[in-house]
Amino acid sequence: MKTSDFPVFTVKSDPSEAEVMSHKLMIKSGMIRKLSSGQYTWLPLGLKVIDKIQKIVRVELNKIGCREILMPLVQPNDLWKESGRWEEYGPELLRFKDRHEREFCFGPTFEEVITDLLRQDLSSYKQLPINLFQISTKFRDEIRPRFGVMRSREFIMKDAYSFHASSECLDESYAKYMGAYKNIFNALMLNFTMVDADSGNIGGNESHEFHVIADTGEDYLLLDNSLNGMNIEIAKERYQEEDLEKIASKTGMTLKRGIEVGHIFKLGTKYSKPMRLKYTDENSKMNDVLMGCYGIGISRVVAAAIEQNYDGKGIIWPKSMSPFQVALIEIDSKKNNDIKNYANNIYEDLINNGVDVIYDDRDLKLGNKLTDWELIGIPNMLIVGKKESDDKTLTLKKREEDEKHTVTSEFIKDLSLKV
């Protein structure tokens, strides 16, 4: 891709509304723009990161036999009445009426819709287990949307649901999702931990959360040496933090803060029972289906990754999620057609080697271009100017290093092996 058809929307000044680094850097680098409270537009750059995360999520879920579907965002309230959550769910559920005075809500989560889906098609134990997921926009009318996409009202979530004839089968699937989640967060190259958690509003009987460790996290985690731990969600009042520190020092655990990026639940029959999702067993007896549900906050993962990876110049993407692997920066090409041709050849070479490259063909000084790509956080910057074009070399500037190096086009082949 070239910057001439991939607009770069970097900004120099610090956005006044941003309290945490990830929010600040997402705005400055041109990943997101605010529409209104808790609502953000994803610009091309931000969406490229989302896309990389989604690919990894899809690969790992497909590996455990989970298939993708897509459910409607707007949900009729009769399903929510059946499950009992129309009354239970608080003001986070945004409710409204259509022109026929029928009541609806924007989907904050999809247990009701998917339970209704399955009861239309499920009859026998022979069809079970079934594993389905979607990646879609969710809406929660959060009381305090903050930190940009970290806690927003509209956000992208991957939600998976599993259906079983026995608790052994549910346990087995739950363990598979746990493994898939570990693979996902490892592949994303995040520093994360899994903790026992409270099932909260969604209900059920066992649940675990996945947290990215970061000082700006909203949750407190008490971790033992193996990084297994419990999650204590409390208000961030100073004295409570001190109490937790006391508990930590008494028990030999470590107190950390985390950003919840994933949450898995064994739901059991919480939805199948009231909504009558049943199957017939070998003896033609009707039973309630057992369910599990598994969420990942895709858009929150972007912010969490930045909280773990930045410096004074900007974002430092782990290569798993970097919007591009290489920024190819041409300089002085207006004055010299050879430079343009050489840069174009390098660009073709990168593409032919399967390297995800952005070719910066803007008419700007090297310093300005470097500043942009360092802010955006691209791991490799390849500079092509007069010297490089004459010598048929490339100047490499790695995001994490200060010095530049001269490399040959062999470097491109090395990169392609790492894709």
What is the contact surface with Mg ion in residues (CB under 5 A)? 263
Sequence-separated (6 or more) residues with CB below 8 Å from residue 338: 389, 390
Instruction: Using the minimum distance from each CB to Mg ion, give the nearer residue, 185 or 317.
Output: 185
Provide the mask over 42-81, with x wherever binding to ligand ADP is found by CB under 6 A and - wherever it is not: ----------------------------------------
Residue 151 interaction partner, one of Mg ion, ligand ADP, none, beta carbon < 5-8 Å per kind: ligand ADP
260 binds ligand ADP (CB under 6 A): yes
- Count of CB atoms situated within 10 Å of the CB of 142: 17
Q: Considering the rule CB under 6 A, would residue 258 count as an interface residue with ligand ADP?
A: no
> Token pair of 233, please?
């969600």
Q: Where are the beta strands (DSSP E) in 252-333?
A: 254-268, 278-280, 286-288, 290-297, 310-311, 314-315, 326-330
User: What φ, ψ does residue 174 adopt, rounded to 5°?
Assistant: -55, -45
Does 295 help bind ligand ADP (rule: CB under 6 A)? yes
Q: Helix-strand-coil percent breakdown of the chain, rounded to 5?
A: 35, 30, 35
Contact region with ligand ADP (CB under 6 A), list: 152-160, 172-180, 276-284, 311-319: 152-160
Contact partner, 104, from Mg ion, ligand ADP, none, Cβ < 5-8 Å per class: none
Question: Which is closer to Mg ion, CB of 48 or CB of 263?
Answer: 263
The closest alpha carbon to 231, from 264, 255, 206, belongs to 255
Q: Residue 265 is encoded by which pair of tokens? A: 């639940």
349 binds, among Mg ion, ligand ADP, none (CB under 5 to 8 A by kind): none
| Under rule CB under 6 A, residue 155 binds ligand ADP | yes
298/326 with CB nearer ligand ADP: 298
Rounded Cα distance, 148 and 165, in Å: 41
Give the C-alpha separation, 409 to 71, whole Å. 47
Cβ at position 368, least distance to ligand ADP in Å: 33
285 by Cβ neighbours in 10 Å (0-12 / 13-18 / 19+) ranks as exposed
Residue nearest to ligand ADP (CB): 297
For residues 161 to 200, the per-residue mask of contacts with ligand ADP, x marking binding by CB under 6 A and - elsewhere, is ---------------------------------------x
Q: Which region among 127-135, 150-158, 337-345, 402-410 touches ligand ADP (by CB under 6 A)?
A: 150-158
**Dist CA 308 CA 288 (whole Å):** 43
Which run of H or of E encompasses 196?
strand 192-196
Among the listed residues 28, 140, 266, 270, the single contact to ligand ADP using CB under 6 A: 140
Of these, 151, 164, 176, 270, which contacts ligand ADP (CB under 6 A)? Answer: 151
**Least Å from the CB of residue 137 to ligand ADP:** 11
261 φ/ψ sector (left φ>0, alpha ψ -120 to 50, else beta) = alpha
Residues that bind ligand ADP (CB under 6 A): 109, 140, 142, 151-152, 155, 157, 200-202, 260-263, 295, 297, 299-300
